Structure 1
Amino acid sequence: MDLLLDAGNTRLKWGLRDESGWRGQGAVAIGEPDGLAAVLAAAGPIRRVLGANVAGAGVAARLAELLGVRSLVPVWIEPSVSAFGVHNRYLDPARLGADRWAALVGARALHGAAALVVTSGTATTADVLDGEGVFQGGVILPGLDLMRSSLARDTAQLPFADGRFEPLPRRTADAIVSGCLHAQVGAIERMFRRVAAEAGAVCLLNGGAAGSLAPLLEIPLRRVDNLVLEGLGCMLSEL
């Protein structure tokens, strides 16, 4: 059994995988990585640990300590210029986030044609992967909840809205939620234009806000549970 870890800004996602595929996936709060201990206790023997970490050195150290109790040493991936069928055109390839790199690798493995790779979490990323497997670039914007919380934090009379999407909102709460969703969907659809003309082009959507965004997107769409874990699964061959 192999343990795969996606240490993000808010959550630590985990996956257990063997030769037959996924044996389980889940998540714990990034500030409480000890929640992973129960997963480890129930998992049985684990051979390897591979992860993508954008949560910082402190989280990496805590996980190393937790895993060390079981004599496991996590390996944290770093982006490269080219690997696993993906060519990285970032101006400084090493500066691409490890999670974005793993998601691109996962996207290429799951969909062998052009794709817009979208992760909708604390931040939303939309990365262009062409039909040849070349990562052409991408954008980062605040995630849905960050957009809503920024309005509550930085304006005098706009609360953190618990509204709903409406085409023409007539309540402030609905206006806030609808505006934030329009901003997310608009950015994604604009970025999709970069690959729309390629054969088989699709938006691969994952992340915590995917359920809110998917019904509003008017582009070819495929939801995937966790592209980062999928990419890490592809990378196990290098360990």
Structure 2
Amino acid sequence: MLLAIDCGNTNTLFAVHDGEGWKAQWRSSTVSTRTADEHAVWLSALMALQGMSFDDIDACVISTVVPQALFNLRNLARRYFDTVPLVVGEPGVDLDIEVRLARPQEAGADRLVNALGARGIYEGPLIIIDSGTATTFDVISEDGAFEGGIIAPGINLSMQALHAAAAKLPRVAITKPQRVMGNDTVSAMQSGVFWGYIDLIDGLVERLKAEYARPMTVVATGGVVSLFDGASRTIDHYDPDLTMRGLWQIWRMNGGDA
């Protein structure tokens, strides 16, 4: 079975694929100094709850935007699963995607993985929205190339900045308010961040579509994307498995067996 690891700035997702489908997924906070041994203790307990053990894993693929975390994740694969991991972005790893940026090396691994996860599933051209620490809007052409996009602060980051910069504003949970106008400080903050963020998404998507000058399919993924379900007028599909599907495809196109 394949262990796929997607290490983001805020969370790291571990998922196991048995060749037919995803058997389990677990999410942890990203700590770049967390050792291979610490990862193993946590992961072994969760795998046992699903009736799995380390012996079941015979391959590993890793995508990370946190370079400092890669050393320990690589050691996890080698020491506990006795496998050399496939690392997205390293020399020799085929992604089979044209990057049409002025500096192609600047395309983040997570953004390319998402593009591969969406190609062939959704009709292009595409706008892929990934909402995490940052929110990215990536444009994938009709022929499957990565053309560029937008990087904006994530919704959690926006809420944290509001609390940190204003002495009297509390830390509040992000939720979908029933009304736009708040009647106390907490509901006013929640409305400002949530509906402001929805309008950021819809506004940027509409500008991208106008600039691209043709119909586009909009796909959203990421840790908080479920919050936007039914609120955004521009998102066509919500796909929480987009990144994992991309990692599976990368592993297959680089010689992995089903």
Q: CA RMSD in A?
A: 2.4
**Cα distance between partner residues in 2 of 1:106 and 1:178:** 32
- Give yes or no for the alignment of 1:17 onto 2:10: no
**Cα distance between partner residues in 2 of 1:15 and 1:92:** 31
Match of 1:122 among 127, 133, 137: 133
**Cα distance between partner residues in 2 of 1:92 and 1:169:** 44
Compared CA separation, residues 105 and 53, structure 1 to 2 (3 A): same
**Cα distance between partner residues in 1 of 2:176 and 2:245:** 32
Secondary structure at the counterpart of residue 215 of structure 1: coil
- Give yes or no for the alignment of 1:231 onto 2:241: no
**Cα distance between partner residues in 2 of 1:191 and 1:137:** 14
- Give yes or no for the alignment of 1:38 onto 2:31: no
Match of 2:101 among 75, 79, 90: 90
Residue identity in the other structure for 2:110 = D
- Give yes or no for the alignment of 1:65 onto 2:75: yes
Confirm or deny: 8 A CA contact 2:5 2:13 kept in the other structure. Answer: yes
TM-score (norm 2): 0.81
Task: Give the length in aligned residue pairs.
Answer: 235
TM-score (norm 1): 0.87
Secondary structure at the counterpart of residue 219 of structure 1: coil
What are structure 2's unaligned runs of at least 5 residues?
A: none
String of CA shifts for 1:25-62, please: whole Å, max 9, x gaps.
Answer: 222222253423335662443222111111222x2122
2:170 is matched with 159
What are structure 1's unaligned runs of at least 5 residues?
A: none
Secondary structure at the counterpart of residue 146 of structure 2: strand
Compared CA separation, residues 220 and 151, structure 1 to 2 (3 A): closer
Question: Displacement of 1:23 after TM fit?
Answer: 2.2
Confirm or deny: 8 A CA contact 1:185 1:213 kept in the other structure. Answer: yes
Question: Displacement of 1:132 after TM fit?
Answer: 2.5
Secondary structure at the counterpart of residue 136 of structure 2: strand
Structure 1 segment 130-141 matched on structure 2, within 5 A: 130-141=141-152
**Cα distance between partner residues in 2 of 1:158 and 1:164:** 19
- Runs of 4+ aligned structure 1 residues displaced above 6 Å come to none
Secondary structure at the counterpart of residue 63 of structure 1: helix
**Whose strand proportion is higher, 1 or 2?**
1
| Mean Cα deviation higher: 31-40 or 229-238 | 31-40
Confirm or deny: 8 A CA contact 1:37 1:66 kept in the other structure. Answer: no
Percent of residue pairs bearing the same amino acid type: 26
Compared CA separation, residues 133 and 190, structure 1 to 2 (3 A): farther
- Give yes or no for the alignment of 1:186 onto 2:199: yes
